[in-house]
Copies of this chain bind each other. A is one copy, B any other.
Amino acid sequence: MDLKQCKKTIDSGLNAGKFIIVIGKCVVKYEGRAASKLSEGDRALIIKKDGTFLVHQSKGMTAINYQGPGAAILTNFDSDNNKLSVSAVRKTKNSLPGNVREQIVVTFNTVNFADAFDLTDDKKLKVFGTEDELSNLLMQDLHLIEPGLLPVQQESPLAKGQIDILARDKNGAFVVIEVKRRQAELAAVSQLKRYVEEVSKKKNTTVRGILCAPSMSENAKKMLDNYNLEFYKLNYEISNPSAKIIGLEKKQKILGEY
């Protein structure tokens, strides 16, 4: 396909706020929070009306180079070398020292296909089985963990923050509960430990910490035991239009290890 014509297709597509696709042999360069180079190969470039800019290779799920919404798109046809470059520039969100500007340049040597499409769609995705949903379900059924466990009301200034569930057990002790929708690993234990320390310090008392997850890695289990935190295996399903907690199973410390 003629590169000059391709530039026209892209430009008018940008103007009309369309969904643009370009397929061809290109080189990609990126500079911003990091820098990258991708030597020549066949790729698909997607440009959305919000400035999203995606370079996809023939394999792999993630875009090999990209620019998020808000990027300004520029095209340039180099008639001397017969190359078409398409670039996207934006300001970096995360302030990194010195690098505020992010730029990605795709230089096409040949283009097999280029077109722009009218896509209008602002439907939102509804997801079931998120951690937030599981956490809310569990909050209403704390007795599944143990009798007498009661949630500390959200209104309490102490319940604010990032803690999934704050509760008190039958003895009145504070219990921090962290819910994970998938296997809990070291980071999850660190996180729970941090919350427990925080509440413990604020209330100047001993605080229990409970991790609820479908499973735990071995190392995470060891670390949990070291910190005297508790683990409950969380069984749930998402078959319905929403998630459902099937049950919670207490996992005791493994003692026989010497």
Which residues in A have some Cβ–Cβ distance to B below 8 Å?
A: 19, 21, 23, 31, 33-44, 46, 48-50, 52, 54, 56-61, 64-66, 68-69, 94-99, 112-113, 115, 117-130, 181-183, 186-187, 190-191, 193-194, 214-215, 223, 235-238
Cross-chain contact of A60 among B52, B95, B129 (Cβ < 8 A): B52
- Smallest CB gap from A70: residue in B: B61
Cβ–Cβ < 8 Å partners of A123 in chain B: 38-41, 57
CB–CB B23/A214 < 8 A? no
CB–CB A119/B43 < 8 A? yes
CB–CB A128/B46 < 8 A? no
CB–CB A127/B34 < 8 A? yes
Copies in the complex: 2
Given known pairs A58-B49, A98-B237, A235-B97, the reply for A36 and B190 (CB within 8 Å) is no
Distance A232 CA – B60 CA, assembled complex (angstroms): 37
9 closest residue pairs by CB, A with B: A41-B121, A58-B119, A34-B129, A190-B190, A42-B119, A50-B59, A35-B128, A41-B123, A36-B127
Distance A117 CA – B99 CA, assembled complex (angstroms): 37
Cβ–Cβ < 8 Å partners of A183 in chain B: 94-96
CB distance from A190 to the nearest CB of B (A): 4
CB–CB A36/B125 < 8 A? yes
- Smallest CB gap from A186: residue in B: B194
Cross-chain contact of A33 among B36, B125, B129 (Cβ < 8 A): B129
A-B contact pairs, 30 of them (CB 8 A): A23-B119, A33-B129, A33-B182, A34-B130, A35-B128, A35-B129, A36-B126, A38-B126, A40-B123, A41-B121, A43-B119, A43-B121, A48-B60, A50-B60, A54-B61, A57-B119, A57-B121, A58-B119, A58-B120, A64-B125, A94-B183, A95-B183, A96-B183, A96-B214, A97-B215, A98-B237, A112-B117, A112-B118, A113-B115, A186-B194
